[in-house]
Amino acid sequence: MIRAAAKNYKSVAVVTDASMYGELIDRIENGTNDEAYRFECARRAFGHTAAYDARISNYLNGISGEEFPEKLTLTFEKKSPLRYGENPSQSAAFYVSKNKSAFGIESAEFLHGKELSYNNIGDAQAAVALIKEFNEPACAAIKHSSPCGAAIGETVYDAFLAAYECDPQSIFGGIVSFNRAVDARTASKMKELFLDVIIAPSYEEEALRILQKKKNLRLLALPGISQKPKGAFEFKSVGGGLLVQQTDKNEIESENFNVVTKITPSASQMKDLIFGMKVARHVKSNAIVVAKDGRTLGIGGGQVSRVWAAEAAIGHALSSLDGAVLASDALFPFPDVVELCAKAGVKAIIQPGGSKNDAASVEACDKRGIAMVFTGMRHFKH
C-alpha cells in the first residue's frame, strides 16, 4: 500500500514516519499540500520500503547461510550530516545500520565537545577495534587510523602512561580508547595533552568534570566497547564495485603457534608476542610492532617494504629494545628483519611463516640466539 500510494503521489500524500504527521496536518490545514511536497513524501516512502525489503532479504540470506548472495542489499540510515569529509572540499555524512550487534563507534554516546568529524569517526572506530583485543585494563592511542601506542596494565592509568610513552609526539591530536572506566588520575594526566577524542565504557564523575574543562575535547561513552561484533563484515568501495569480507576476528591466542628455532620463548616473551600480534593486525601493512612488558615500544606500518617497516618500528623506539619482541603481520621474504632484530637486542619474533625462504630466517635466528614462532595466520590490513 505504501508503494502504491507513493507511485500515485500526484494525488496522494504518503507518510511513513510519525515525525512527518505534524507537517502533513499543517499543510492540509493551510492548503500547501502541493505536488512538490507529495513528491518528497513519495521519495521517502520508496526509501522506507526499499530498506524494509533489504532487511527481509538479509534475514532470509542469514537463515539459508548465504554469506555472499547474488544480490547484496544494504540499508543504512543517516545518523548525522558532517561538515566535510577527509578534506574540506569533500561533502560527507555518517550512516549507520540497524545491526545492534556491531558494538562499534555508531553505538557510542556523545558526552561532550565539538561535533565529530569524518576523520574523528574513522579514527575512533580504529581505536574501538583495537581495544576489543584485550581483557586486561588497556589503552590504545590512534593517529590517522593506525596505532601509535598501545599497552595493558594493572590500572587504566598505567596502561595510558605506557601507551603515551611509546610515542608522545604522534599522540598529539590523536584518539585514545580504554576498556575500563576512566578515573580522575588518568583524566588529570590526559588533560595536560592535546587529544581529539577519548572513548571509554564510562567515566568517573570527577574524571568527567576534569575533562569537560576542555571545551573542544570530544568525550564518548561506549558501554559495549569490549564486546566483539557478531557476524561482522567489512566493505570497501573500488570504483563502481564493492569488496566485502569477513572481519579478521579470530582470537590470536588460539592460533597454531609453532616454535621453529632452537630457542623457545619464555612465558613472558610469549605473552608479549601475543600482545604484539594483537596490535600488529590493526596496523596498516606492511606492519611491524616491537613490544615488551605489555606495551608497544615501536610501530612501523604502511611501508611498501617489510624491512622498512621494521626499520621504522625499531628506529622510532624511545627506550632500549634489549629483551623486546617483534611481531609481523605477514611472512619474512628475507632474513633482513632478523638482522635488524639482532642489532637492536630483540630476543623473540612472531610471524605467520610460509615463505620459500623461511629456512634462511630460522637459521639467522639460531645463529643470533633469537626465538621465532610461526602462527600460520596472516593479518594484512590494507
Active site residues: 7, 144
The single-letter code of the amino acid at 203 is Y
The single-letter code of the amino acid at 33 is N
CB-based burial, 35-60: b 16+ in 10 Å, e otherwise? eeebeebbeebbebeebeebeeebee
Rounded CA separation 164/186 (Å): 12
Nearest alpha carbon to residue 285 among 156, 181, 381, 141: 381
Query: What is the SS3 string spanning 50-113?
Result: HHHHHHHHHHHHHHHCCCCCCCCCCCCEEEEEECCCCCCCCCEEEEECCCCCCCCHHHCEEEEC
Grid coordinates belonging to 200:
571509554
Rounded CA separation 70/101 (Å): 24
Asked whether 188 and 195 are in contact (CB, 8 A), the reply is: no
Nearest alpha carbon to residue 61 among 310, 176, 53, 142: 53
Other C-beta atoms lying within 10 Å of the C-beta of residue 233: 15
Q: Is 156 exposed, middle or buried (0-12, 13-18, 19+ CB in 10 A)?
A: buried
Phi-psi sector, 299: left (phi>0), alpha (psi -120 to 50), beta: beta
User: CB-based contacts of 280: which residues, under 8 Å, 6+ apart?
Assistant: 287, 288, 289, 327, 328, 329, 379
Grid coordinates belonging to 256:
597454531
Nearest alpha carbon to residue 228 among 150, 331, 134, 347: 134
CA distances, 90 to each of 83, 85, 145 (Å):
9, 5, 19
User: CB-based contacts of 190: which residues, under 8 Å, 6+ apart?
Assistant: 160, 176, 182, 198, 211
User: CB-based contacts of 319: which residues, under 8 Å, 6+ apart?
Assistant: 165, 297
* DSSP 3-state of 311: helix
